Amino acid sequence: MKSLAASLTILAAAVLLAPSTAAAQDNYQPPSGPTPRTASGKVDFSGVWQKPYVPDLTKDGRNFKGVADLPFTAWGAADWKKYDAADGDYTGACLPFGMPRSINTPEPMQLMQSDSYLTFLFEQNSWFHVAPIDGRKHRDGIATWFGDSVGHWEGDTLVIDTVNFNGKTRLDTIGHPHSDQLHLVQRFARPDLGHITHEMIIEDPKTFTKPWKVTRTFTLRTDWEMMEYSCEENNKSLWEGRIRIPKR
């Protein structure tokens, strides 16, 4: 059941990290220096960032600490048990990954920050997500793929709080589930110029019996620029009708 998803993960990693690319990443050294700040004195998270590729949130990896045993509810365990990528995964149809799975992808992410907003620019499918960071409350509205995000500061840590997900996405490549009751908290800290420490706290009473947390490190890539990415462009299986839309 999970074998196809795992195989696709390995294949994707092999394609994305060709020997020359992997060597370049291993040899890269981020700039050193103090934590940058905006003109208003807030920690500045702007930059193009290399995220660790996290296909499975239960496994530790380079610059990532996972959770070995997810605290599933009966509903969550049943949904996870029945998931099979061969029956259709929404990403194969180029539908939005959602926030948790987008954070887990290996493609670059650019953060753009002002006093009022933090904007996530994902190279993956050229998606973006805008989070107000001026302390406002969540809006009432239609549930979406990336949810509704608002942010606030706790000292030098920026907290991005997201709710109102449509429940149509998965947490990671291997297919760990969540529901439309997902409450996602991301905590961003920048201990120095070249790194962000990131916590992702998952709370979803339909899927999990208690909240759980994973941590990772982002690396500033001064040698990278964002590129256009279109999932649909060369996806012959999508155009020719061989991709099945998953059922939830």
Q: Three-class SS of residue 188?
A: strand
The residues, ordered by sequence, that sit 6+ positions from 19 with a Cβ below 8 Å of its Cβ are none
| Whole-number pLDDT of residue 13 | 44
Burial class (CB in 10 A: 0-12, 13-18, 19+), 242: exposed
| Whole-number pLDDT of residue 236 | 76
Amino acid at 104: N
Burial class (CB in 10 A: 0-12, 13-18, 19+), 171: buried
Write down all domains in the chain, each with its CATH number in brackets: 3-31+44-239 (2.40.128.20)
Residues 48 and 56: their CA atoms lie apart, in Å, by 23
Give the global pTM. 0.86
- Joined tokens for residue 51: 């995220």
Alpha helical stretches, state H, the chain:
3-16, 19-27, 74-82, 99-103, 236-239
| Whole-number pLDDT of residue 25 | 64
Given a contact cutoff of 8 angstroms between Cβ atoms, the answer to whether 238 and 88 are in contact is no
Amino acid at 118: L
Using the 8-state DSSP alphabet, how is residue 64 labeled?
E
| Whole-number pLDDT of residue 8 | 44
Residues of the chain with pLDDT under 50: 1-21
Given a contact cutoff of 8 angstroms between Cβ atoms, the answer to whether 41 and 94 are in contact is no
Q: Three-class SS of residue 81?
A: helix
